[in-house]
Every structure is written in C-alpha cells, then in structure tokens.
Amino acid sequence: MELKPSGSLKIDTFSMRVGDIESVELDRLHALSLSVGWPHRAEDWQFLRESGEGFVALDEIGRVLGSAMWFAHGADFATVGMVITSPRLQTLGAGQWLMKRVFDKVVGRDLRLNATRAARRLYLSLDFQPEKTVYQCQGIARVPTTGWPANIRGDVRTLDARDIPAVIALDAAAFGVRRTALVEQLFALSAGYGLFKNGRLNAFALCRPFGRGHVVGPVVAESDADAVAIVRPHVADHSGAFLRIDTDMDKGEFAAFLSHSGMPVFDTVLTMSMGKRLANFAVGGASAPVTYGLASQTLG
C-alpha cells in the first residue's frame, strides 16, 4: 500500500493543511470532539496531548476539521486514537489522509486501535484486522444490594505511590507491552484500589475524571471475582454519579456485576490491529493477569 502522505488535501471547494496538535487551542479541539458527539472535555484532550503526539487538519482560515493521534510504548508498538473528522468531511477522504500522516510517524511499529462503527470501513481499507469487541458500559453507578461482594481472597486497599512499580509490572503482563510513562501519568490523576495476596499485588483498578463523570480503567485481574473486588469500591465511591468502564467482557460474573451496578452496555467498538497482535484479552479460566477494563478506547 502506498502510504506517502501529501502536505495538503483538496476537499470539495477548499484545501486542508496539516498542523501539530500541540499548536491548537484546547477549546478548538473540544469543539471538534463535540461535533461528532464524543464526551471528551478540554482536560481530557490535554491529558492525551501530554501522553502522545498527533496532527490536526486545518482549513484555509485555521478551523480545526480533523485530528489523529498516536501513543508510543517502547520502540515497537503504538496505539492510535482520536481520529476525528468533522461531519461534512467524513466521506471525502480526510480520515485516510490523516491516517497516512500517522503511518509516516510510526513506521516499523505494531499498531492497535478501537474503531467506532462509522470508522471500521476506513481501517479495513488501511489493512487493520479485527480482534475483538469492546463494550462501553456506563450509567449512574449504584452498589448492588445482593450477590456482591463474594468471598474476597486477599486484602483490598487503596494504592499509593509505593505501589506504582507493581502496577506497571502487572499492567505490562496483561497488556503485552510496558507502559511505564502512561501508567505514571494515569496514576497521578486517579484513585486506585489494589488486591493483595500474601503481600503481592494481584489486581488493580484506577479511576479518574473523564467526560460526563469518571472512568474506571485500566483494570487488571486474574479472575472475574478479583476484578469485581477492585472495581466495587469505585462504584461505591461514585454511587449516584456517572461512571463508565470499557471492557471486552460480555458475560460472566464481571459483566453481570457491571450491569447490576448501573453500567449496562451503551455502545461497542471493535479492537483492530496491524502487525503483531498483543495477547491481552481474557481467556475463560485463565489465571494470568488480563485487562478487564481499558485505560480508554484511545489508549487501550
């Protein structure tokens, strides 16, 4: 596939040019995501800019009409996200043009992204391959009155700075690559709970402000019961408020817990990859750490 990007793109009766996402005011990025119904606040955009790199598409008078970002982890892997084009440009090739700009910056890396229904055709045309469905579960949180918690094997406590190395290691075991900088950045914005067995961290869940309320993620655990044990305190902390989690679990104890906690499935995205796949999806009965909740759809 020919992936040499041009520096401008003729769209309908006007031209677009590319700019660095760092050069654009946050309120203009916020307006872009609002135009497609995404919940990101200006603060969420700023966190993403601090965590990754990206481009914007600008028209002749400097209006922001599109964006695309990538988030590198090590030398061989990156996630891609915040690929947005304004509604008037979505069928005119702007998304593909932006993605080719990204490809020029991530040469040699394996890639992963989470595709909305509207974007799947674009990513298939760029040779991304489907992996698995992710369920966006959200709503007004409530603590289930029956059924949970089950007998917790271990001690659940809040996490602090001393736990960061263990969180990074457990996240790497589940996700497939080490995300040291990202986990440290998330930790600074998040409240966290961990499940400890014999003094060792076996599961964790972080929760931070995002969009309409708070988002729980990443969540890493070895079993549904352990995942419930570390997410339930976040549900209690935000009872009566908006809470969200993105998970690939559609059945089992953890999925049932989310539904009973006021977070039914609201929407889905499709995880897609280019190059080597990372084995971070749960397998029934597996005892190794797996990702029960994404950091976000953008970050994986």
Q: Do residues 142 and 276 share a domain?
A: yes
Q: Do residues 34 and 69 share a domain?
A: yes
pLDDT above 90 covers a percentage of the chain that reads 78
Q: Considering the domain boundaries, does residue 23 fall inside one?
A: yes
SS (H, E, C) 117-132: HHHHHHHHHCCCEEEE
Residue 155 sits in a domain whose CATH number is 3.40.630.90
Q: Do residues 183 and 282 share a domain?
A: yes
Helices of type H across 127-190: 164-175, 180-189
Query: Peptide bond preceding 218: is omega within 30 degrees of 0, i.e. cis?
Result: yes
Higher pLDDT, 280 or 40: 40
CA–CA separation, 46 and 140 (whole Å) = 26
**Domain limits at 57?**
8-108
Q: Do residues 144 and 252 share a domain?
A: yes
CA–CA separation, 192 and 169 (whole Å) = 15
DSSP state of 108: T
Q: Considering the domain boundaries, does residue 74 fall inside one?
A: yes
Tokens of 209: 């402000």
C-beta of residue 154 within 8 angstroms of C-beta of residue 287: no
Q: Considering the domain boundaries, does residue 127 fall inside one?
A: no
DSSP state of 277: P
Last residue of a domain, one of 92, 108, 124: 108
Q: What is the pLDDT of residue 159?
A: 98
Query: How many domains are there within the chain?
Result: 2
Q: Do residues 90 and 142 share a domain?
A: no
- pLDDT one-digit tens code per residue, 62-111: 889 899 999 999 889 999 999 998 766 666 678 888 999 999 999 999 99
Last residue of a domain, one of 93, 108, 123: 108
Q: Do residues 15 and 155 share a domain?
A: no
What predicted TM-score, i.e. pTM, was given to this entire model? 0.90
Number of residues that this document lists for the chain: 300
- pLDDT one-digit tens code per residue, 116-127: 998 999 999 999
pLDDT above 70 covers a percentage of the chain that reads 89
Q: Do residues 151 and 51 share a domain?
A: no
C-beta of residue 157 within 8 angstroms of C-beta of residue 270: no
Q: Considering the domain boundaries, does residue 1 fall inside one?
A: no
Residue 205: what residue type? A
CA–CA separation, 3 and 145 (whole Å) = 54
Residue 12 sits in a domain whose CATH number is 3.40.630.30
Q: Which of 193, 255, 237 is nearest to 218 (CA)?
A: 193
Q: Which residue has the tokens 């006021």?
A: 262
Last residue of a domain, one of 73, 108, 143: 108
Q: Do residues 95 and 168 share a domain?
A: no
